[in-house]
Structure 1
């Protein structure tokens, strides 16, 4: 396994992972997805098995204090092998931030394995 920063050839593999997770926003518009993954303040990293994308992490940051882990996915055949942790640990210093916040409704046990503090959170959908 190799972890590296996102490049455009990784996009189809990331979108396939999103579709497998039933996350429709990025696959709905691949051009927009590429723009999201390369936007200022964004860190996107991928885990590769050869050329196959087997995981990715997408974070947004102010570059100094705060980062937000927006999405993390690992292919079902590769889970529980340390790939998710490796993605977060590789991406974190690239953000320049001191901390990473996130919201999860499916992976509490995984994120609890990191040094952390737990807070309540909300996702707001403007008008």
Structure 2
């Protein structure tokens, strides 16, 4: 298993992971997904098992202080093998940020294993 920065060739694997998680936004428009994953201020990394994308993390950052983990997924067949942690540890320095904020409704135990502070939060849908 290896972790590397996202490239266009990884897009089908990232989209497949999103579909398996029931996340329709990226798979709905592959060109838009690639544009988002490579936008200025974005860090996207993938976990590879050979040529197969088995995980990815997508973070947005100001490059100095703040980053936000927007999406992260690891394939169900590869979970509990340290891939999620490896993705975050690889991506964090690439963002240039001092901290990473995130929202989760399914992985509290995973994220609680990192040094952290817990805050109440909201997601606004304009």
The two structures have a TM-score, normalised by structure 2, of 1.00
Output the CA distance in 1 between the equivalents of 2:85 and 2:26: 23
Give secondary structure in 2 for the equivalent of 1:59: strand
Q: Which residue of 1 aligns with 2:46?
A: 46
Show the 5 A alignment for 1:18-33: 18-33=18-33
The two structures have a TM-score, normalised by structure 1, of 0.99
Consecutive unaligned residues in structure 2, runs of 5 or more: none
RMSD of Structure 2 on Structure 1 (CA): 0.3
Q: Which residue of 2 aligns with 1:2?
A: 2
Residues 61-110 of structure 1: CA distance to partner in whole angstroms, max 9, x if unpaired?
00000000000100000000000000000000000000000000000000
**Pairwise CA distance, 1:125:** 0.6
Give secondary structure in 2 for the equivalent of 1:27: helix
Consecutive unaligned residues in structure 1, runs of 5 or more: none
Output the CA distance in 2 between the equivalents of 1:119 and 1:17: 28
Extract structure 1 runs of 4+ deviating beyond 2 A: none
Give secondary structure in 1 for the equivalent of 2:48: strand
Output the CA distance in 1 between the equivalents of 2:58 and 2:122: 19
Aligned length: 126
Residues 10-62 of structure 1: CA distance to partner in whole angstroms, max 9, x if unpaired?
00000000000000000000000000000000000000000000000000000
Q: Which residue of 1 aligns with 2:58?
A: 58
Q: Which residue of 2 aligns with 1:68?
A: 68
Q: Which residue of 2 aligns with 1:88?
A: 88
